[in-house]
Amino acid sequence: MVLLCLGQRRGIVWDFARHITDIRQLKVTNLLGPQINAEICPQSDAIFPSRNVEVWKELDKVFNNPDFNPKAAELLGGAVRVPTESYDVMDPVGQDPRWEPFGILNDYLETTFPLVNSTLRRTKVNGYALIYEWDGSDPNLKPLLLTAHQDVVPVEPITVGQWTHPPYSGYYDGKFVWGRGSLDDKSGLIAVMIAVESLLESGFKPTRKVVLAFGIDEEATGHYGAKLLGEHMVEKFGRDAFAMLVDEGGGLTTAYGGKLAAPGVAEKGYLDVMVEVNSPGGHSSRPPTHTSIGMLASFVVRLEQNPFPYSLTRATPLYSTLQCVAEHSPELDSSLREVIKKSISSDRALKQLQDFVADDPLMRSLITTTQAIDLIGGGVKVNALPEQAWAVINHRIAAESSVKAVQQHDTSVLENLASEFNLSFTAFGRDVNVHHGPAYGALIISEAFNSSLEPAPITPTGPDAAPYRVLSGTIKATYETGRHNDNGGQLTVAPFMGGGNTDTQFYWNLTQHIFRYDHVNVGEDGDARGAHTVNEAMNIDSFIEMTRFFVTLILNVDESDAI
């Protein structure tokens, strides 16, 4: 089975059919026939610009002409050649010299896209984060907001020699543009800029205002970039001021003989938990029964032995994805198709489907709160008892859960073990156990790195959700007329659950209609590769399709009376 997973905070969609349990092992009773129900995963028709159809046709010819490939590659490659790396710990803008490349990228955008910079109003927030405003003729219409980020994940110096082409070369080999950021997310940034520049060249004048917002530290929490951009836009435009928002996210893949597009309509929450054990020091020749490190190891093991319970509900976006696969993927195993369809009204079938999902670690991770012990430390010398040991557990919080629920879970799992070791226990600022005698040491669990984030609001996708219909119709129109559709096949659009946290976490107040989507083909042909690792590269066809998508979206949203 082909489903989708979003990698880290980046909205990269991966095909992970090879990870799914062989569906022939699924023992189910035929619960429904193979009939098609139009009410399950309803699809919008392709939406093409009408009032501005000539503009769209003109630009479509430009983008579909192979002669445009090297120009597009150079525009993306020029941005890749600026090493705008962001790190988990950076001093503020103006104090840390590692921000200086962002000024070079700002200048590159200004000189490379002259019409954007002469026609749209540009505002710099916190030095290098950018907002562009393209005024429309009707101020009563809510604007369209397109976002991306300028920063990239740093390149490990020891891996530079492993790259086919240098990581900041922006090298174009006739098929791929190579380099850090070519996929994540300078492709999205430059595709938006090309789209707007091209529309300006064509003479298009929007009815609906268009706003572009480009953060500077999405790969490092977004607090210097998107957080301040979001605050600026709320102050200037107000809450719920935008018709819809599109940021990086899902893409195109293959699902049982059918093509699937998966815009992210939700994201999991986030919490890092510091587990700290303090106990008396001393000489290692006279060790106690348990050292701080030994006790910490027990706490870490206890957490791993007690994962969060999983539950597949009809409200989670993954359930909607499964419904779309069952309805529109012709080669899906008939038994699994029947279980998915029956689960709409049968709790028994829903439990069977939940059990199936739980058998695969990747799918299970999308419906449950996850925990990963990622950092650990303690001790300074082999002959000195460690007085402190610590570990950090990273949690990605399920859509139906909350930060508070995660805190309660971790507290309850560790409480008894703290008593067994005769440790005082403080959990998230609260004293948990009361000692009648002196404690041997202390267990403290707390939020690390000021990291807590509730799960994102789920974007409406129902019959009355006009922005989702326009987005879906735009995706289909772009696909039907573009380079990805080489066999004339149909495309299914399915809402999806993001696994990471993009810059949209700071834009929740701006609109209810947030979509995380890159029109990138990530199927077996490898159009996108290497996000956050060696040999990151972007297929030029996919990059141009992203650009065509943004042009079509801007025109369709501009013409929509329903939004």
Spatial CB neighbours of 440, under 8 Å, sequence gap ≥ 6:
279, 280, 421, 422, 423
Active site residues: 151, 218
pLDDT at 71: 98
Is 184 marked as binding a ligand?
yes
- Please list the residues that pair with 152 across neighbouring strands: 85
The tokens for 113 are 């896209």
**149 assigned to a ligand binding site:** yes
Neighbours of 353 (CB within 10 A): 23
Quick count: other Cβ atoms within 10 Å of Cβ 474? 29
CATH number of 269-308+369-453: 3.30.70.360
Strands of the sheet containing 537-539, edge to edge, are 176-178, 537-539, 528-529
**Would you state the pLDDT for residue 547?**
98
pLDDT at residue 255, as a whole number: 82
Domain with CATH 3.40.630.10 in the chain: 53-267+456-559
pLDDT in tens, the chain (563 residues): 334 333 333 333 333 333 333 333 333 333 332 333 447 899 999 999 999 999 999 999 999 999 999 999 999 999 999 999 999 899 999 999 999 999 999 999 999 999 999 999 999 999 999 999 999 999 999 999 999 999 999 999 999 999 999 999 999 999 999 999 999 999 999 999 999 999 999 999 999 999 999 999 999 989 999 999 999 999 999 999 999 999 999 899 888 888 899 999 999 999 999 999 999 999 999 999 999 999 999 999 999 999 999 899 999 999 999 999 999 999 999 999 999 999 999 999 999 999 999 988 888 998 999 999 999 999 999 999 999 999 999 999 999 999 999 999 999 999 999 999 999 999 999 999 866 678 999 999 999 998 899 999 999 999 899 999 999 999 999 999 988 876 667 899 999 987 678 999 999 999 999 999 999 987 545 556 778 899 999 999 999 999 999 999 999 999 999 99
User: Dihedral of the CA atoms 422, 424, 427, 430 (nearest 10)?
Assistant: 140
Rounded to 5 degrees, φ, ψ at 421 are: -90, 0
Task: Bin 479: left if φ > 0, else alpha if -120 < ψ < 50, else beta.
Answer: alpha
β-sheet bridge partners, residue 124: 130
Residue whose C-alpha is closest to residue 126's, from 155, 152, 91, 154? 91
Distance CA 9, CA 277 (A): 30
**CA geometry: angle at 384 spanning 381 and 386, to 5°?**
90
Cβ contact 546:188 at 8 Å: yes
Q: What is the DSSP string of 91-117?
A: PPTTT-GGGHHHHHHHHHHHHH-HHHH
Residue 338 assigned as binding residue: no
**Cα(542)–Cα(519) distance, integer angstroms:** 7
Amino acid identity for residue 505 in this structure: Q
Q: Specify the pLDDT at position 437.
A: 77
Residue 460 gets the label, from left (phi > 0), alpha (psi -120 to 50) or beta, of beta
In the chain, residues under CATH classification 3.30.70.360 are 269-308+369-453
The class (CATH top level) of 53-267+456-559 is: alpha beta
Quick one: which of 502, 458, 508 has its CA closest to 233?
508
| Amino acid occupying residue 139 | P
Closest CA to 217 of 98, 326, 116, 329: 98
- Which CA distances in Å does 471 have to 15, 17, 27? 22, 26, 38
pLDDT at 499: 62
Is 532 annotated as belonging to a binding site? yes
- pTM recorded for the entire structure: 0.90
